[in-house]
Amino acid sequence: MTPLEVLALYPAHDGTIPAAIAARVAVAGERDCVVFEGQSWSWASFADLAARAAGYLEAQGVHHGDRVALVARNSDAHVLLLFALARLGAILVPINPALTPAESSYVLDLVEPVLVFHDGVDLPPPTSWRGVLWDAAVIADIDAAAPKLVAANVTSDDICLIIMTSGTTGFPKGVMHSQKSFLACGEGFVQRMHLQPTERMLVVLPLFHVNALFYSVAGALAAGCSLIIAARFSASGFWQLVRDTGPTEVNMIEAMGSILANRPREEFRPGHALRKAYGVRSHSEKVFREEFGVQDIVVGFGMTEAPGAIANPFDGLRKSGSMGVLGRHPDPALPWTEARIVDDNFVDVGVDEVGELVLRTPVQMRGYWRDEAQTEAAFRDGWFCSGDLVRRDADGFFFFVSRKKDIIRRRGENIAGAELDRVVGQHPAVQEAAAIPVPSDLGEDEILIVAVPRAGAGVTEREIADWCAVHLAAHKVPRYVLLASELPHTPTHKVAKTVLRADPTLKSRAVDLAATTGQGTRGV
């Protein structure tokens, strides 16, 4: 079926998540909706459970516009809470469970949730929010006793998700998306991957991440297909999971593809049903096609603020190493991504010239939660400024060049360099510090910290990494640390990170903490 034919299978809806779910139930009510750890729910049974969960949440005091946080590993609870809260016009805030209590506290104080569901992670004491332990018993209670919330006064413009993203200020920002934006991105993903109603989509990326939510969950909702949720990505167990659960499509990040391509081949399980993969980059494509039998591999570009913007076409020319072309909706009559590449004066550059990518798309954030200044700074003349330097060739394919912002991309996560600078700079023996990205063997970046010790203070590279392990999530702990006598500065006395990035000797001079024998540092 063509992508437009897939969407046409279901009754038209009003752009709200509850209406879209009802449309899928009307046509595919007995098809698997969610599969998690051996248990499955049909579209009809999961919609019923979501209605009961909405009634349960309303009884707990959750109302239109309220925030409910979920701090947990992947589970069916992410999808259930999203669907249930959407019936109330309330907002899900999924939070990385690997954050430290201090990091979680900042996010929770920012969004002020009325409830916090978690699976036993270490959270700070409640202040303006209440904590509730989410486990199987809660789901059983909902299923058995909670009344259904039949009617909900919600609109397509109601915010349904706040997704936390790092910023150049070093503090997380909450990206707001509406129900309409969520559904539109899912419809765009039907086009991007030619999803079929019989598709079985495997989720291995974290469900606090825009990829898993806006491509996998929203894509499954748009196609009315099945969603298989893995609690986490396991490289050694990946192919056994694929063989056991029968997915036909999976979304990845570059590092996952690289890891799997380099794993022992005895872990591979032939005879699987996986045929489509999104996000496997060029250096792993050949292995996936020729050895793993995954034929349809698509890569693209999106941001938490503007997901689904650019992709290589499923049914046309795909250029290896490119971000792709402008994304589109299955219905060609509906508008989709517009993009420009501009110089520092916001003037368009020519073919194959490098500039900043700016976007205008219907799948665009409504702004940053309670941060009008950052929201205003993110836009110029109605265009969202990505902070990424790219070029576009004569065929309309975009190619990534570098990041304009102080962001490090590691393990599929955006990490603010300013946050690392601040945390390392708080070490009592450190006078000043700067974090920069260096290439990783798996693709994306590794973190390198250049630290200047205070006069007369003794500190080792391992001690700096251990300090980070105590104060930061594991994926933010640096792999490389270099002790230096001074850092380069701009005329305004800011650290000149461009000078550091341009120094080809930094990585070789730094201590590689992954190569040392110490085992005390998380994340290296």
Q: Where are the beta strands (DSSP E) in 454-496?
A: 480-483
Residue 449 sits in the same domain as residue 433: yes
Residue 180 sits in the same domain as residue 64: yes
Which of the listed residues 403, 435, 461 is the one where a domain comes to its end? 403
- Tokens representing 290 are 């020729």
- Tell me whether residue 184 is in a domain: yes
Residue 152 sits in the same domain as residue 60: yes
Which of the listed residues 382, 403, 424 is the one where a domain comes to its end? 403
Which of the listed residues 230, 261, 279 is the one where a domain comes to its end? 230
Number of folded domains that form the chain? 4
pTM of the entire structure?
A: 0.85
What mean pLDDT, rounded, does the chain reach? 91
**Strands 310-311, 325-326: pairing kind:** antiparallel
- Tell me whether residue 312 is in a domain: no
- Tell me whether residue 306 is in a domain: no
Residue 144 sits in the same domain as residue 252: no
What CATH number has the domain bearing residue 63? 3.40.50.12780
Residue 88 sits in the same domain as residue 149: yes
CA distance 352 to 338: 18
CA distance 393 to 250: 29
- Tell me whether residue 493 is in a domain: yes
Residue 116 sits in the same domain as residue 12: yes
- Tell me whether residue 135 is in a domain: yes
What CATH number has the domain bearing residue 440? 3.30.300.30
CB 389 within 8 Å of CB 398: no
Residue 395 sits in the same domain as residue 437: no
CA distance 173 to 111: 10
Q: How many CA atoms lie within 13 A of 177 on its CB side?
A: 34
User: Model confidence over 170-218: pLDDT tens digits?
Assistant: 678 999 999 999 999 999 999 999 999 999 999 999 999 999 999 999 9
Residue 95 sits in the same domain as residue 193: yes
User: Model confidence over 355-376: pLDDT tens digits?
Assistant: 999 999 999 999 999 999 999 9
- Tell me whether residue 310 is in a domain: no
Residue with tokens 């598709």: 199
Query: Residue 414 above 60 pLDDT?
Result: yes
User: Model confidence over 223-241: pLDDT tens digits?
Assistant: 999 999 999 999 999 999 9
CA distance 31 to 303: 31
Residue 239 sits in the same domain as residue 216: no
Full residue range of the structural domain in which residue 98 is found: 7-230
Residue 339 sits in the same domain as residue 241: no
Residue 69 sits in the same domain as residue 171: yes
Q: What percent of the chain has pLDDT over 70?
A: 95
Residue 393 sits in the same domain as residue 439: no
